[in-house]
Amino acid sequence: MILPLLKVKNVDASVKFYVEKLGFNNAFNMQGPDGVNAFAFVDLGKPTIGLSLEQGDNSGAGKGVEFMVYLPEETDIDVYYADVKGRGVKIEAELTTQYWGDRTFTIHDPDGYVITLSKTVKEMTFEEAEANRNNT
């Protein structure tokens, strides 16, 4: 298992975004010595993201990295997308079916991390995906 740990400016604000805007669960919080939350886990079923208070200059964090979060099986991505958009989240890449069989859309979180939310809607072989790519 790989657990992404995102360095954030404000753990509580990030948790609030993931919970209120994206429908994640706040699975765990840990306070620092000053009593302010310094760490948290948020999850959407199985996918889990750690949020950790940044220390010092973190201006290069997340550059060149994109997180692809697969929604739980029972989630209808079209309904989820409409809900997220309805909550005022800026959509960076609109909902579309990709040539490899996933429906995806992309947002940025409050700290600028690129999050692509995805659902496999058609299982296919590598050869089928390649053929689809060449036909688009």
Query: Is residue 60 one of the residues assigned to a domain?
Result: no
The encoded tokens of residue 36 equal 């302010």
**98 vs 47, more confident:** 98
Note the pTM of the prediction, 2 decimals: 0.86
Number of domains making up the chain? 1
Output the pLDDT for position 58: 66
Q: Is residue 31 part of a domain?
A: yes
Q: What is the CATH number of the domain that holds 116?
A: 3.10.180.10
Domain that holds residue 110: 5-54+65-134
pLDDT, tens digit, for every residue of 70-129?
999 999 999 999 999 999 999 999 999 999 999 999 999 998 899 999 999 999 888 888
Q: Which residue has the tokens 């989240």?
A: 89
45 located within any domain: yes
pLDDT, residue 60, reads 66
Q: Is residue 102 a part of any domain in this protein?
A: yes
Q: Is residue 59 part of a domain?
A: no
Would you say residue 130 lies in a domain? yes
| pLDDT exceeds 80 at position 8 | yes
**What does the pLDDT average to over 56-72?**
79
Which pLDDT tens digit goes with each residue over 14-34? 999 999 999 999 999 999 899
What is the model's pLDDT at position 125? 85
CA 49 to chain centre: 8
Task: Tell me, yes or no, whether 79 lies in a domain.
Answer: yes
In a domain, 74, yes or no: yes
Q: Where are the alpha helices (DSSP H) in the chain?
A: 11-16, 77-86, 126-134
Closest CA to 124 of 97, 106, 88, 91: 97
pLDDT of residue 37: 94
